Structure 1
Amino acid sequence: MSMTQAWAALPLSKPVMTTIVKHLKYKAMTPVQSKVTEVRKQDVYAVVVSPTRELATQIAEVLDQFLLETPQFSRQLVIGGVSSAAQDARRLAEHGANIVVATPGRLHDLLQRKETGPRLQAAVKALEVLVLDEADRLLDLGFERQLSEILSWLPRQRRTGLFSATQTDEVQKLVRAGLRNPVAITVRDKQTGDSRTPHQLENFYMVCSAEHKLGTLIHLLRQRVALGHKVMVFLSTCAMVEYFTVVVKRLVKCPNVLSIHGKMKNKRFKIFDKFRKMESGVLLCTDVMARGVDIPSVHLVVQYDPPSSAAAFVHRCGRTARSGHQGAALVLLLPTETSYIQFLQLNQKVTLTEQEAPPPPAPFTTELRQLQLADRANYDRATRAFVSFVQAYAKHECRLIFSVKELPLGEIATAMGLLQLPRMPELKTAEVANFTPADVDLNSVPYKNPEREAARQVKLAAYRETGAWPGAKPAKAKPWSESKAKRQEQKQKKQKRKEVKEEKKKKKRSREVDQDEWDELASEARALKKLKKGKMSKRQFDASIGMDE
């Protein structure tokens, strides 16, 4: 049960508190009137499992507001990236927790640890409520095994709530496995109707060429930053986020440019919390920020790269126009991708309005190449970004719309300021036009970091001496005889397949001949019966079986 614009934590917190209070026989939910029959510090009455640290933190913050009315209860947040598992275990042992908000990996770790496992397993025997928030996301991220084991440690007599924005087959399996007598509740906005985005959200699309796509993004961000707006930009890969963060900082010249992606570990929550508290700024991110999290006052969501799934498109848009506020979402499309608009209309019931693209801006190729020449780290980022983008594009679920063969790879590489095209399988057979490599020796491009550059120089000297880059895996050269034998084996297999095919054709022709003979025999039998019954003369019979000559 969920909807894109709903507060992520509020639908969870109130039912959790109400159920616990009823179970413990509270008379009222005020500090003065609340009298509990028994609250034991070490008993866990409710567990809330969330797919990401950011969402878990927000749920804990909303729960804290309810706990002001019920101070007898304690709450613990156990997630990675903030404290270690040992620290969480120590805190649970010392202070206990009546309500645990956790990510599945950390909760699973604590339940199976030798130091805390038995104690926590005993504590959850008092469990009344289990909440699995963003259940489909929990399964998408590969937590199915951990969830199954967590459920095995919990009492069967409990109330379980699955909150999910989308109902997938995996979620239905989890419902069947983890819920008894399930009841489905769907939440909809009356003003929205069948649309899966809130009515106060304006959805736009803009068509621009690959050559001007980056320039268009920079133009939009400069406008929004000047207005003091808060903008989220979604990109397809972690490498794209890393490179575009450098680019946006350089070209937009905004002090508040942040980035978040799934490969960030310890600093991810700090960046997320910083952006939440900002009044204006730009956040570049992957789909790790596409759902569940509530960031106040986001004015615009830009989807520079369309997401890999149609459902993710709706989740991305849902980062703005929250809590009744107005917001806008914009997706940038290439001319070959415009069929995506109709696809979203049919698949997600989302209607997009075209927004006219600004006049084609001057390309930033020269400036971006200077950025890479000044620091080899930026050259590495640009190369990884291009490679990861092409690979992600090739894996898109809508391959009929997003076809790698139709990608203007040369224009994209030029717009991103690549010095040279990287070596990758997708470029081996592709005809790359509209790209001119930079006239520069790549080995002469230095790292700005002295330590990295010193290490590179050592490897470069070894490479010039031996012809092999230190640490690189040497290509396995197969003997000529082995290669010849393999080719001969492939040729024999091909010949065998051809023979099998011919044999099948012969059998088919044989069956057709046999059928003709049976048909002829049946016809003669019918004629003979007619002759015996006097319904046919001897001459007619001879003519029917071909003996009249």
Structure 2
Amino acid sequence: MPRRQGRSGGGDADELAELRERVISEAPEAGSNPLLTDAEEVEADGKVTFSRARRFSELPLSRRTLAGLARGKWEKMTDVQRATIGHALAGRDVLAAARTGSGKTLAFLVPLLELLWRERWSALDRLGGLVVSPTRELALQIFDVLRTLGQKHDLSAGLVIGGKDQQEEAARIAPMNILVATPGRLLHHIDQTAASRPLDASEATPGSLPPQADRLLDLGFKQTMAAILEELPRKRQTLLFSATQTRRVADLASLSLSEPQYISVHAASKTATPTRLQHHHMLIEPEQKLDVLWGFVRSHLQAKTICFLSSLHPAQVAFVHAAFSALRPGVSLLCLHGRQKQMKRLAVYTEFCAKKHAVLFATDVAARGLDFPTVQWVVQADAPEDVATYIHRTGRTARHTASGRALLLLSPSEKAFVDQLSAARIATQRLRPNKQQADAARAQAATAVGERADIKYTAQRALVSYVRSVKLQADKAVFDASSLPLQKLAESYGLAAAPRVRSLSGGGKAKEAAKN
């Protein structure tokens, strides 16, 4: 967005006065949930409220924001947008939970731009709005939406995710009105540049807006977020958005929100995930996993698939990607994990988004917030740690109005997870592996491991990583590392012998030593 040279002129005065009046008169009652489907009523606090607006054009929004919405071809509002934007425009704090792919980004960016516009914000006012994202990829995605939405606003915006010289980055972001940032990099600038004050978060009065609050806490940013919140002004508006409402999100809300509007968009839905998402699971022995996964890839060459593996260490992702690439399945294979350098991660993300058919092997760095277009399948080759993680992973498909399918591979000892999904209003259909499709990949993998020392080393680390990830899971009703057949697992990875995993049945972290 172009940098503003001065405050709003008289040409906006009439529009500004009209919209301020409409925001007050049309605001939903505090404590209400204005969400309605086409012919339904929602009863909140004993009163029936009606949501008239279905399109952005029906809201009290400035011509500048409406022009950005038109440029992005955003016309109809999603449920989370209809439920929250009215409260946010009225200046209220919001704590909202909505399914993945439901349109949360516009739900906080539209009010942010409108609040700054109604305050007649300019470049002279410096920082006015802050968006905190848990991952670099999501921050970049939010920033791209912001550039489209705010193209007609005389405001400047910056992206703070690292990867550049700090002094150069500090100089570029100093005059920005809106910042989209990851927590660690943002706090680094706040702390390290305090003397010269090129970044003063205390000026961010109209809006401080951290999305994906649950993911921020999952990634261990609780202390970082608390430190950032201390630097923000006490008088501010805060919007917290997440796909799930958890105790940790509530704890963060208690620190940062004042009399918030609690809105759970899909709490009363029959399913916890989009109705267009079909759920499937298979019960297979652990040593069959790679065979089944290989069979799936070979039989879905015309699909776009994300396959999630253990996130304890990227070795699982690295090995499966390397081994399957060596086997040449006939479709593009990519991998994404947190230990890749920033530019590499962004390159992989961009390449996968651009491809019509591909398989992305990923850790949970790709599980939340990111919008991958036209993903038909989400395969979870390793069981997720809990139902919330399952929901976030499957949320990479069936986004917005699209349909999608999800496949979960479970060992017999992990069958209890199906009951947990059912209790969370997620019905999953059991599939049985097709023996003809699940061509035994282990013989070919053994050849690749034998011929390439790097793949052999990665296979050893991957196996140890997988066993440790199972051992360290908190839910012992689902995860039982002692039941894993290490030798059979090793053979399925193309290894002649299993790496040694010490203290497999004892307490504490497992210690491992890989043999030749």
Per the normalisation by structure 2, the TM-score is 0.75
Would you say 1:405 and 2:482 are equivalent positions? yes
Partner of 2:186: 107
Residue pair 1:111, 1:120 contacting (<8 A) in 2 also? yes
Partner of 1:313: 390
Distance (whole Å) between structure 2 residues aligned to residue 119 and residue 88 of structure 1: 10
Partner of 2:293: 217
For 1:99, the aligned partner's letter is: I
Distance (whole Å) between structure 2 residues aligned to residue 349 and residue 189 of structure 1: 10
Partner of 1:352: 428
Residue pair 1:133, 1:163 contacting (<8 A) in 2 also? yes
| Corresponding residue SS for 1:177 | helix
Partner of 1:32: none
Partner of 2:99: 3
For the structure 1 residues 195 and 392, does the alpha-carbon distance in structure 2 shift closer, same or farther, using more than 3 Å as the test? same
Shift of 1:167: 2.0
Residue pair 1:254, 1:281 contacting (<8 A) in 2 also? no
Would you say 1:230 and 2:304 are equivalent positions? yes
* Higher helix content, 1 or 2: 1
Partner of 2:70: none
Would you say 1:289 and 2:366 are equivalent positions? yes
- Match runs of 1:70-469 below 5 Å: 70=153, 72-81=154-163, 83-93=164-174, 96-114=175-193, 118-121=197-200, 124-188=202-266, 193-225=269-301, 227=302, 229-237=303-311, 238-254=314-330, 256-266=332-342, 267-346=344-423, 348-359=424-435, 361-426=438-503, 442=516
Distance (whole Å) between structure 1 residues aligned to residue 501 and residue 165 of structure 2: 39
| Corresponding residue SS for 1:120 | coil
Residue pair 2:487, 2:497 contacting (<8 A) in 1 also? no
For 2:396, the aligned partner's letter is: R
Distance (whole Å) between structure 1 residues aligned to residue 417 and residue 192 of structure 2: 48
Distance (whole Å) between structure 2 residues aligned to residue 337 and residue 171 of structure 1: 28
Partner of 1:13: 109
Distance (whole Å) between structure 1 residues aligned to residue 203 and residue 277 of structure 2: 44
Shift of 1:205: 0.7
Would you say 1:63 and 2:146 are equivalent positions? yes
For 2:498, the aligned partner's letter is: L
Shift of 1:170: 2.1
Distance (whole Å) between structure 2 residues aligned to residue 428 and residue 394 of structure 1: 8
Shift of 1:252: 4.5
For the structure 1 residues 367 and 22, does the alpha-carbon distance in structure 2 shift closer, same or farther, using more than 3 Å as the test? same
Shift of 1:58: 0.9
Shift of 1:54: 0.7
Residue pair 1:89, 1:116 contacting (<8 A) in 2 also? no
| Corresponding residue SS for 1:268 | helix
For the structure 1 residues 170 and 210, does the alpha-carbon distance in structure 2 shift closer, same or farther, using more than 3 Å as the test? closer
For 1:194, the aligned partner's letter is: K
Residue pair 1:76, 1:99 contacting (<8 A) in 2 also? yes
Number of residue pairs the alignment of both structures matches: 408
Distance (whole Å) between structure 1 residues aligned to residue 257 and residue 124 of structure 2: 27
For the structure 1 residues 145 and 250, does the alpha-carbon distance in structure 2 shift closer, same or farther, using more than 3 Å as the test? same
Shift of 1:400: 1.8
Residue pair 2:315, 2:462 contacting (<8 A) in 1 also? yes
Distance (whole Å) between structure 1 residues aligned to residue 150 and residue 377 of structure 2: 34
Residue pair 2:204, 2:236 contacting (<8 A) in 1 also? no
Distance (whole Å) between structure 2 residues aligned to residue 117 and residue 167 of structure 1: 39
Distance (whole Å) between structure 1 residues aligned to residue 406 and residue 308 of structure 2: 11
Taking only aligned residues, the RMSD between alpha carbons, in angstroms, comes to 2.1
Partner of 1:27: none
Distance (whole Å) between structure 1 residues aligned to residue 363 and residue 282 of structure 2: 20
Distance (whole Å) between structure 2 residues aligned to residue 252 and residue 218 of structure 1: 11
Distance (whole Å) between structure 1 residues aligned to residue 240 and residue 196 of structure 2: 25
Higher relative contact order (CA 8 A, sep 6+): 2
For the structure 1 residues 428 and 61, does the alpha-carbon distance in structure 2 shift closer, same or farther, using more than 3 Å as the test? closer
Distance (whole Å) between structure 2 residues aligned to residue 203 and residue 400 of structure 1: 22
Partner of 1:473: none
Partner of 2:131: 48
For 1:340, the aligned partner's letter is: F
Distance (whole Å) between structure 2 residues aligned to residue 405 and residue 10 of structure 1: 46
Distance (whole Å) between structure 2 residues aligned to residue 243 and residue 9 of structure 1: 34
Distance (whole Å) between structure 2 residues aligned to residue 41 and residue 341 of structure 1: 56
Distance (whole Å) between structure 1 residues aligned to residue 439 and residue 127 of structure 2: 61
Q: Percent identity?
A: 34
For the structure 1 residues 171 and 409, does the alpha-carbon distance in structure 2 shift closer, same or farther, using more than 3 Å as the test? same
Partner of 2:48: none
For the structure 1 residues 319 and 119, does the alpha-carbon distance in structure 2 shift closer, same or farther, using more than 3 Å as the test? same
For the structure 1 residues 350 and 126, does the alpha-carbon distance in structure 2 shift closer, same or farther, using more than 3 Å as the test? closer
Residue pair 1:222, 1:252 contacting (<8 A) in 2 also? no
| Corresponding residue SS for 2:263 | coil
Question: Which stretch of the first structure deviates more once superposed, 46-55 or 349-358?
Answer: 349-358
Residues 67-94 of structure 1, C-alpha deviation per residue, up to 9 Å, x if partnerless?
Answer: 1231x1111111024x33233112124x
| Corresponding residue SS for 1:119 | coil
Shift of 1:427: 6.1
Shift of 1:168: 2.1
For the structure 1 residues 362 and 273, does the alpha-carbon distance in structure 2 shift closer, same or farther, using more than 3 Å as the test? closer
Shift of 1:98: 0.9
Residue pair 1:275, 1:281 contacting (<8 A) in 2 also? yes
Shift of 1:406: 2.0
Residue pair 2:491, 2:497 contacting (<8 A) in 1 also? no
Partner of 1:22: 118
For the structure 1 residues 45 and 218, does the alpha-carbon distance in structure 2 shift closer, same or farther, using more than 3 Å as the test? same
Question: Which stretch of the first structure deviates more once superposed, 292-301 or 201-210?
Answer: 201-210
Residues 264-311 of structure 1, C-alpha deviation per residue, up to 9 Å, x if partnerless?
Answer: 122112211211121110100011111111110001000000111221
Distance (whole Å) between structure 2 residues aligned to residue 426 and residue 343 of structure 1: 29
Partner of 1:470: none
| Corresponding residue SS for 1:185 | strand
